[in-house]
Amino acid sequence: MTVNYTTNLALGQPVTGTESGTWGDDVNNSVTSYLDIAIAGGLAITITTTDVTLTLTQGTSSATNIGSTTAQYAILNVSGAMTAARNLILPSSSRQYIINNNTTGGFALTVKGAATSGVTMINGEKAQVFWNGSDYAKSAITTAVVNGIVYINSSGQAISGSALTFDGTNFATTGTATATKLIPTGTSVTGNGMYLPATNALGFSTNGTNAVYIDASQNVGIGTSSPAGKLDIVEGSRANSTNIGNININTNSTAAINLGGSITLGGTYNTASSTSFAPFGSIRGAKENSTSGNYAGYLQFNTIANADVLTERMRIDSSGNLLIGYTSSNGAYKLQVNSQIFATSSTIATSDARYKENVEELLGALDIVKALRPVSFDWKAHPVHNFDTKTKTVGFLAQDVQQALAGKPYLNSIIKANECVIEPEIKDEEGNVTKQAVTEEFLGIAEGNMISILTAAIKEQQALITTLTARIEALEAK
């Protein structure tokens, strides 16, 4: 009784002139049964804590000897909750398998020969695996992803995954799509996406409405399909009570004093280059304090000197005070200027009699004027106030005027007590004060209000002159 076996599938080959009376059993057990599993047979394999090795088995006249580790099956259905990466070891000879990797656990399954590195399969992957002459490789892969698109990877293998899908109508990707140019063909604004609203124009729509429109001159419109400039935004009016504007520019830095969104305006500064840009000015809205939860803010206006940096020139603080040359308020004054003011005409102060009551004549003005001390002086340099330290100046000292007006009910309309910040308060990120502010109190004079006192003094003096003149004339007439 002599039977030889083929190399790849171990199919029986009864030797001519042998196997008398058992030839049929030999063919059935060693050929037909093996051809059946090699063409359409599926083997269930469980892999959890150890590797699994399949070997070639051989049929005899008495049995097929096909078992749970027979390597000749065409389809290998692998399952099990793997606790680590495992190996499925197959014969190192010419063959191919369809492998359905239904294992779980997130660990890779390596299909390999006894002495080769093999090819890995992820949980849920289905693949055609074949012996390429030196190792196992995958010729095609279909992972368990609905609508997954098959593509050729860097190893020349056809694979599929969830990163790129197509449902018959729409493409979707979780990665990055790149192309030399994406050109839409539709002209309808319906739905969401990019479309061609007109020749040489491009539109982006959301919810069936044009969101962004780029015309043939590269003008961009938001809320309009007829942009008049490089950026044209059209929207209904928003009330101040919403604290939301048509354009909102915010910073996402940790909340801190003097931080906020800004807009910079600039242009070219070099006649020899059309690309030499510089900032000429900027506007910033910034947090006015370092207290967490307090969003009082100011509006800052900046300009730049040649070869310098943007520098604050003016701000409107959270109380609506306009500060020019100051960065902190000196008191409840709507306009505060840290320099001289030039005007080509008069400044007007409201003085309508209909707005006033308790009107009384000023008396004793001449005595007040006699108590005043006009002086000339030089300003000292100051860290906050921008005094003209180069020019000899004339005027009054606020303390002298305060003393001359002592006890007068209108003292506070002329002498103003103020406070300026020399060094601002410093707080840490939690809002705790680490350094107290350095402030300075100082006095100012509402010099315009002194005109009425000087006028009353002149009238008193003139009345005295008139009386004395009359007396002199009477004496001279005798």
How many other CB atoms are there within 10 angstroms of residue 453's CB atom?
22
Per-residue model confidence (pLDDT) at position 10: 74
The pLDDT-based confidence of 292 (bands split at 50, 70, 90) is confident
Kindly list the structural domains of the chain, giving each domain's residue range(s) and its CATH number in brackets, ordered by start.
Answer: 3-144 (no CATH), 182-233 (no CATH), 261-352 (no CATH), 362-461 (1.10.10.10)
Among 12-26, 97-111, 264-278, 399-413, the range scoring the smallest mean pLDDT is 12-26
Residue 366, φ and ψ in degrees, nearest 5: -65, -35
- At residue 91's C-alpha, the angle toward residues 85 and 92, to 5°, is 95
Among 362-366, 406-410, 423-427, the range scoring the smallest mean pLDDT is 423-427
The whole-angstrom separation of Cα 467 and Cα 314 is 55
What 8-state DSSP symbol labels residue 29? I
Q: What is the pLDDT of residues 125-135, one digit of tens each?
A: 998 999 999 99
Give which of 95, 10, 91, 107 is closest to 50, Cα–Cα.
Answer: 107
Q: Are 378 and 392 in contact (CB under 8 A)?
A: yes
Per-residue model confidence (pLDDT) at position 155: 55
pLDDT at 238 over 90: no
pLDDT at 27 over 70: yes
Q: How many helices (H) and strands (E) does the chain have?
A: 6, 32
Residue with the larger pLDDT of the pair 350 and 173? 350
pLDDT at 142 over 50: no
How many other CB atoms are there within 10 angstroms of residue 373's CB atom?
11
Round the average pLDDT of the chain to a whole number and report it. 90
Residue with tokens 């309808």, as numbered in its chain: 188
The whole-angstrom separation of Cα 215 and Cα 109 is 55
Q: What is the pLDDT of residues 143-177, one digit of tens each?
A: 556 777 777 666 556 667 777 888 888 888 888 87
Q: Are 398 and 443 in contact (CB under 8 A)?
A: yes
pLDDT at 323 over 60: yes
User: What is the average pLDDT across 325-329?
Assistant: 94
- Both ends of the chain: CA-CA distance in Å? 182
* % of the chain at pLDDT higher than 90: 66
How many other CB atoms are there within 10 angstroms of residue 167's CB atom?
9
pLDDT at 315 over 90: yes
The tokens for 199 are: 């020749």
Among 108-112, 253-257, 337-341, the range scoring the smallest mean pLDDT is 253-257
pLDDT at 121 over 60: yes
Q: Are 180 and 191 in contact (CB under 8 A)?
A: no
The tokens for 124 are: 């849920």
Chain centre distance of CA 268: 28
Interstrand relation of 75-79 and 96-101 (parallel, antiparallel or unpaired): parallel
User: What is the average pLDDT across 368-381?
Assistant: 96
The whole-angstrom separation of Cα 54 and Cα 72 is 9
Q: Are 295 and 257 in contact (CB under 8 A)?
A: no
The tokens for 218 are: 């590269």
Give which of 286, 270, 266, 287 is closest to 278, Cα–Cα.
Answer: 266
Give the type of residue at 304: I
